[in-house]
Each structure stands twice: as structure tokens, then as C-alpha cells.
């Protein structure tokens, strides 16, 4: 059995609930780091 880990990014949430789209390099890194931490893994196969 093979498992492929995938996640997504792009949406930005603020404390007051307003959402927006943010595909800046900084947000990509932030989202990737947060996904790695939540999933408890070292790499993501598909981002």
C-alpha cells in the first residue's frame, strides 16, 4: 500500500474572520510549515 500526502494553501484568515487569497512566497512557506507540523511529518509529496 502506498500513501501520498497532499495539502493546499492560498487562503488567508485574519482574527476577525475575513478571508483573502495570498499566494506570496512567505505565505506558501508559512502554510507548508504549518501543514508539516499539523501532520507530524517531515515532507509533503504534493503541495
Residue 12: the pLDDT is 80
Are 46 and 5 a contacting pair, CB within 8 Å? yes
Percent of the chain at pLDDT exceeding 70 = 98
35 against 8, higher pLDDT: 35
Which residue segment(s) compose the domain that 18 sits in? 1-47
How many domains are there within the chain? 1
- Show the cell assigned to 7: 495539502
Please tell me the distance from the alpha carbon of residue 17 to that of residue 19, in angstroms, as a whole number: 6
Amino acid at each position: 500500500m502506498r500513501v501520498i500526502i497532499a495539502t493546499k494553501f492560498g487562503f488567508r484568515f485574519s482574527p476577525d474572520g475575513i478571508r483573502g487569497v495570498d499566494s506570496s512566497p512567505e505565505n506558501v512557506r508559512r502554510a507548508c510549515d504549518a501543514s508539516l507540523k499539523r501532520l507530524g511529518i517531515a515532507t509533503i509529496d504534493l503541495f
